[in-house]
Structure formats: structure tokens, C-alpha cells
Amino acid sequence: MQRVKELEITWLGHSAFLIEGDDTIVVDPFLLNNPSAEITPDKIKCDAVCVTHGHFDHIGDAVSISKRNKAPILSILELSNFFDKVNCQTVGFNIGGSVNIKNTKITMTAAVHSCGADADGLEGAAGSPTGFIIESGETVYHAGDTALFGDMALIGEMHEIDVALLPIGGFFTMDAHHAAKAVELLRPKIAIPMHYNTWGPIEADPTVFKSEVEKRCKTQVRIIDPGQSVKIDSGGRRHARDPHA
């Protein structure tokens, strides 16, 4: 299928990203109570909401964004049942499965993490933690909250990843050194660090991640601030810009 437009990825802070390709997908939209967020939920326009797991800092504002945009929430089946109870449109599927939203294919991947739901009104067991491969012209891998695991090599083998979004904060997820090894396994064209410096326990220096990646492979690391974007056109030219400048 011919690309409609270039892909643009905006880091909204923490693990929240807006991915604008053939369609617009928001992932883990934790915004209102996120000290690093540069945008409020009412400003988000999207075709689908992806939630990697049930922790409050990933569910975030998924419900209000879903209802405002009449957009489905995509999540693992057990977590989807919670969203059903608050009358959201949902697509509950499972690890290894894929769904199509308009012109975008979204595949659920494994992650290594814990996974209860702990957002207000949505507490309980919530399946397994996940990541997503989002194919919307270019291919984006959002790893979710995860430790380093060997099957990342299979994810990289099965999908030609243009951009990998990887946690580096340590404590709750892999740190910068382990995330650099993840990049080596995944072999994306670009890697963007996430899930760091939101709070004290996950303080991290993204330049350490960049340096470690450069020792291991040719992947380009783009360090961006909340509110900034990376644009990727179909000709392969890549650059970062601040959409608010």
C-alpha cells in the first residue's frame, strides 16, 4: 500500500506516544497526572488507543480519550474486560495476535513485567504485560514496561522495525545498559528512550543509552524531550523537531 504521509512520532512523556502515520494511534496515554506531560487529554485526536498493561501510569487517560474520539482501546483480553465495564469501545486480543484499525496493523508482543490493574475503578487481575508492533506505513515497536528478554531477537527478525520505543529508567524496567542490548537484538533503524526521569526512582541519563547503543550496532538513537517529535518519510530521511516551536 502506498504511504499516505510521512510518519510522525511525538513523545508525550513517560511511556505515552502519539504515532501519526496512515492513521493516528496513541499509546499508554498517561497525561493528566504525569509531571512530564506537555499536553492534556482533550487535545489528543486519534483513531485508536493502545494500552500495554494495567498500571495507572499506562492506563492513564485512555478512557476519556477513547470516548472523546470514539476510538477503540486495544489491550490484552483481560484488561479489555475492565474497559468494557466503563462503556468504552474495545478490542481485546492476545500476545501474538494482530488486528487492523483502518489502514494500520497492530500486533501484540510479549513483555516481561508485572500486570495488575491499579487505576481507580479498574483494579484487579489484568492478564499479562504487552508491547505493540504498530505498522502504519512505517513500523514502530512500543515495548511497554519490560525487562530485557532474549525473544526480542525474534521480534526483530519477524518485523523490520523502523523505530523502537524502549524504557531505560531501571527499577521498574530494564535500565540503559540492558535497553542497549535490546536494541542490538531488535535491530531497529532508530531507537527512542522512554520511561525515565518522570520520578526519582527512574532517573536515568539517556546519553548513557545512546553511547551503549553506538558501541553495539548502527541503530541511530534519538533523544527527545516530552512534546518533541521524530518524523520519518518514506524516502528514509529522518529528523527531530519540536511541534510547539
Closest by alpha carbon to 24, among 58, 47, 44? 47
Give per-residue pLDDT as tens, 186-238. Answer: 999 999 999 999 999 999 999 999 999 999 999 999 999 999 999 987 654 34
The residues near 86 (Cβ < 8 Å, ≥ 6 apart) are 63, 121, 122
Round to whole Å and give the CA distance between 167 and 131.
11
Round to whole Å and give the CA distance between 63 and 72.
10
- Percentage of the chain modeled with pLDDT above 70: 92
Contact 183, 168 (CB under 8 A): no
pLDDT-derived band at 1 (thresholds 50, 70, 90) equals very low
Which pLDDT belongs to residue 115? 85
Which pLDDT belongs to residue 125? 65
Give per-residue pLDDT as tens, 28-63. Answer: 999 999 999 989 999 999 999 999 999 999 999 999
Find how far residue 195's CA is from the centre of its chain.
Answer: 10
Domains of the chain: 7-238 (3.60.15.10)
What's the predicted TM-score (pTM) here? 0.93
pLDDT at 3 over 90: no
Give per-residue pLDDT as tens, 68-96. Answer: 999 999 999 999 999 999 999 999 999 99
Phi, psi of 171 (to 5 degrees): 65, -65
pLDDT-derived band at 5 (thresholds 50, 70, 90) equals low
Closest by alpha carbon to 9, among 99, 131, 139? 139
